[in-house]
Structures are given as structure tokens and as C-alpha cells.
Amino acid sequence: MTCKGCHSDKQRMFNGEIAIHFRGLEGLDTPIVWVFPKLAVCLDCGFTEFTVPERELQVLQRGSPVKGAVVLVEKVDPATGEVRRKSPLPGMN
């Protein structure tokens, strides 16, 4: 398999742990989505590919938790920046 970035054949597979955050201030009140994919990393240019599992992809599409997906929900007071709740949702992991 060759790299889509530089066409090198020096790719290696790694295990990954990635937290995906929604952008902007409104992202502070949306779930943080964790994925644990296999990563295909080009050892020449660093280009990396992975696939988001279906349940976590549904969270990204909806912007809200889905049963069985690994998410963390933080409610942030926009006035103070204080986190009001920081824990995985029950039954969502």
C-alpha cells in the first residue's frame, strides 16, 4: 500500500487513541468523541489514515451521544468557563 500524500511505500500500522472535539465555542457543550483506531502512518511524510467506527461517527453526525459510543460530555458555563458536569454519560460507554 502506498501513501496518499507522498506515494512512499514506507507505511506502518500503529494503535491509536484520538479524542475528537467539535470546533468553536459551541463545541464546548458537545460530546468529546474517543476513537481507538488502527493508524496507517507514512514514515516518510507523516500522512496518517484511520477510520472512525460507526457509533462514534453517528455522534459526530448528530452532535449528541449515541448508545454504545465512547463519549465525554462537558457542560461549560459560557460566562465563567466553569465545567458544570464532566463525566461519561451512564450507559453511553
- Are the beta carbons of 78 and 51 closer than 8 angstroms? no
Q: Which three cell numbers stand for residue 7?
A: 506515494
pLDDT, one tens digit per residue, over 8-52 is 999 999 999 999 998 888 787 788 899 999 999 999 999 999 999
CA distance 6 to 9: 9
pLDDT, one tens digit per residue, over 49-92 is 999 999 999 999 988 888 888 888 766 666 766 655 444 444 44
Model's pTM, two decimal places? 0.68
- Are the beta carbons of 16 and 50 closer than 8 angstroms? yes
DSSP single-letter state for residue 57: H
